[in-house]
Structure 1
């Protein structure tokens, strides 16, 4: 991708305060970090204090680099502080997709990466003593025999590459994870898990600062110049000149770099939190304490919080707009899974965007010689962003092996470009939703 100058087309939607989520209401204390004021020269500048940016910055700080992070709102303001909190190993595009499209060598390369993101998270939590309610195990729920066949095929394929963390569940064992009659079985990933996502982001930010890094909040990048010897980032209050620039805005990067904007599409998903259910009811509904997602194209995902609330998410809105009534949209799905919770009070409901790539393969790459980017995790960003942050840090530190392999994979634009990507995706979702209903 060629270097050049680009500017932000629109400001952040929803202001700079955290979304009115359960996570924001239960966040660990964090300092207010001052906005950038004036001109400065830095070694490495990371745009975006979500998981991709924080992971990259923390890995670089651990290697001895001086890193400055610019965040348009607050640390974890975007998807990293709003998501379902599930550590789902792997990438949205399945291992079979990589093998079919790119061959055996790429499939083996990707297989070696599938568990790394979750391992990085667990290492960060332990090393920096991050309090984020980390728990182990995530479960994929099947509503019909086709779903079970697909899960079994995934387990068998992963086993071919030496990955033995997946185990099938029959109907009875599935009820240990979700006390509902909706599912005919499922599969547990023993290396998955769940956590408080905003507290993870806040803990990683604190670790960066502990290692000498700097974070500026309320500092959106309004333009970047990537064509010169050193990238230049302009903000409302100052200018940063960097030796290396890393763009980690993902679904909230806007048109800061038009060449990146056309590669992805923002998609909103919604989450809500019930009133506290009490320990007894929480254990009765989800005895094993894992998190669950079903395997439909438009899926439900849920888990219990540390204070015994059901956190329930699902649905998508292509283009990244928020539905008018989040609670109404999600309550019907929750009641379908757990009719025992009908008429339960909902205390929090919120929405946020993730970045979807057309192929569901996340992308990383370089603009010119000294500007890097990563985005497009397509709903698998909790683990994927931590993995890609490490790979970006390796490249910046001088080891381009894994970076070049992934950056060399071809990407495809959405059919019809940015103007048609939303209706195209809506039509596709209707088709796949119909297949799910028919069990085809």
Structure 2
């Protein structure tokens, strides 16, 4: 199968392969990209009565959708304060409601055990590594509990964390199995999915669009580009608006007793540093998945793993002997404004990408509201209009993004030292 070697690939619940496109096919809409954004869009369009075909260059979930940390919670990568500055309080609140709706769409997808291997676990701890917690305590409510140091240490045998929040509506899951379950839903709704079908050419003008692959050709009245961090030059305006950012995850050997000496909660865990780490137990506590670090070009994975292990043992010295069994990287797509780019580029040409850093809820709602607009069901897509296709800066933008990340690491270090 056309996947990189990851923990998620090694634990696939089903391994059905989908055929490449061969010959000519006419549909109402062609979706380019078989990640969460493309498949949520395709599912909603197919349920709305459209004939839909998804073209995936590799295999569904090959990119960031099948390699990420697996955390599902509300919000956007840009953060609430940044969004409010750009669009105002009322508009920001409406976007926040959309993000929470995305969580519920993902929850409904895996409800009732209908997705094999979804491995859904409720709860997320957002932790702080320095001693200031009044603002966190003020956020407490029915679904958000404040945790002081004593409460944290009942869950985590670590002296690193001082304050935190327990997000009871958040959860974590096996993203690749869930995405393959979503692909099956697209097909049950009447859509078709072609893997190993990289789009090599296109004519996107006129009322009928044409997409060509190595062995096939599609005619469609509408095209959705949902290629994320693996976007090529198919639509230059979309590629210029996106920065491909690499992130990294490692999975441990099975060691349930050792892990129980450090982590005593099944909830996902992340710190609130601006350059933070995230981790969670999987397989009922048998293994640890730990993610973090970003680079703007593919870095040496073993070198990044050494950095991640240093963070892990800094928080949990008792895990020094825990072996890393597999590690991987993947490309996320970021805009300069760090918000999803969901909208219409021209007549019959739509886009749905830019979900880097907070994608499992935002792809769900992004694909949903895009399909609503295409079907004439709502105008909620307009909420994303202020976050357009700003030029990301090309090579200079990548350098600036890397410099910003390094600066955030320094700021995090200094804040904790103070």
Change in 2 beyond 3 A, CA 1:372/1:421: same
- Residues 77 and 357 of structure 2 are in contact (CA less than 8 Å); yes or no, is this contact kept in structure 1? yes
1:397 alignment counterpart: 375
2:128 alignment counterpart: 142
* 1:382 aligns to 2:367 (yes or no): no
2:281 alignment counterpart: 304
* 1:72 aligns to 2:48 (yes or no): no
* 1:93 aligns to 2:78 (yes or no): yes
Change in 2 beyond 3 A, CA 1:327/1:98: closer
Change in 2 beyond 3 A, CA 1:171/1:421: same
* 1:122 aligns to 2:99 (yes or no): no
- Unmatched runs of 5 consecutive residues or more in structure 1: 1-15
Q: Provide the rounded CA distance (Å) in 2 between the counterparts of 1:366 and 1:402.
A: 13
Q: Provide the rounded CA distance (Å) in 1 between the counterparts of 2:93 and 2:312.
A: 38
- Residues 40 and 241 of structure 1 are in contact (CA less than 8 Å); yes or no, is this contact kept in structure 2? yes
Change in 2 beyond 3 A, CA 1:180/1:236: same
- Residues 174 and 186 of structure 1 are in contact (CA less than 8 Å); yes or no, is this contact kept in structure 2? yes
- Residues 242 and 334 of structure 2 are in contact (CA less than 8 Å); yes or no, is this contact kept in structure 1? yes
1:112 alignment counterpart: 97
Change in 2 beyond 3 A, CA 1:409/1:419: closer
What TM-score do the two structures reach when normalised by structure 1?
Answer: 0.89
Pick aligned residue for 2:146 from 152, 168, 173: 168
Pick aligned residue for 2:38 from 46, 53, 63: 53
* 1:287 aligns to 2:264 (yes or no): yes
Residues 175-222 of structure 1: CA deviation (Å, up to 9, x unaligned): 344321111111121111100111001111112112221110000112
2:158 alignment counterpart: 180
Residues 40-77 of structure 1: CA deviation (Å, up to 9, x unaligned): 11111111111101111112222232221111001111
- Unmatched runs of 5 consecutive residues or more in structure 2: none
Equivalent residue runs for 1:342-381 within 5 Å: 342-381=320-359
Q: Provide the rounded CA distance (Å) in 2 between the counterparts of 1:426 and 1:149.
A: 32
* 1:434 aligns to 2:414 (yes or no): no
C-alpha RMSD of matched pairs (Å): 2.0
Shift of 1:112: 1.7
Pick aligned residue for 2:209 from 216, 223, 231: 231
Q: Provide the rounded CA distance (Å) in 2 between the counterparts of 1:319 and 1:149.
A: 38
1:26 alignment counterpart: 11
Change in 2 beyond 3 A, CA 1:108/1:220: same
Shift of 1:237: 1.2
* 1:256 aligns to 2:242 (yes or no): no
1:221 alignment counterpart: 199
